[in-house]
Amino acid sequence: MATIKQKRLVKNVLSGKFNSKKEAMLDAKFSENSSNNPHLIFEGKGIKEIMEKCGLTNEFLAGCLKEDIVKKPQKRAAELRMGFELQDSFPDKKVKVEIYDNYSDEELADLLKQKMNLMKLKDGTKQD
């Protein structure tokens, strides 16, 4: 079950008022040590539970991203970024963007997971 701090953290991130995960975490009353290691909190069961209840699963976000890339019906970049940040799946640095418009939703979701895992391996945050 999600803790009060985790719920506050999600509200903080969704508010868009904070410049970093660390700021949002400190405001939600996480310790300085925890705030210096946000991936430990964002990868936790509580945050994932909140995300699932909100419907912000990796599969949903990947589907939205694919839709935006292919059709561009709306400008939802800020919302997608927020969702990926909550999932701790959005890199803090710029990355090369490739368009995969011939892939199914499932193939794109799998490809996205592979790319995210590769990035985590490169920056040392991947834990098995």
Domain boundaries, the chain: 1-54, 55-128
Please report how the helices 58-71 and 77-86 are oriented relative to each other, as an axis angle in degrees rounded to 10.
160
Question: Which structure tokens are listed for 83?
Answer: 């969702």
Identify the pLDDT of residue 27. Answer: 96
Other beta carbons within 10 Å of 7: 14
Per-residue pLDDT of the chain (128 residues; tens, 9 = 90+): 889 999 999 889 888 899 888 999 999 999 999 999 888 898 888 988 888 888 877 788 777 767 766 666 566 676 667 667 666 665 555 555 566 667 787 887 888 888 788 777 766 665 55
21 class by beta-carbon count within 10 Å (0-12 exposed, 13-18 middle, 19+ buried): buried
Identify the pLDDT of residue 7. Answer: 92
Identify the pLDDT of residue 35. Answer: 92
Other beta carbons within 10 Å of 61: 24
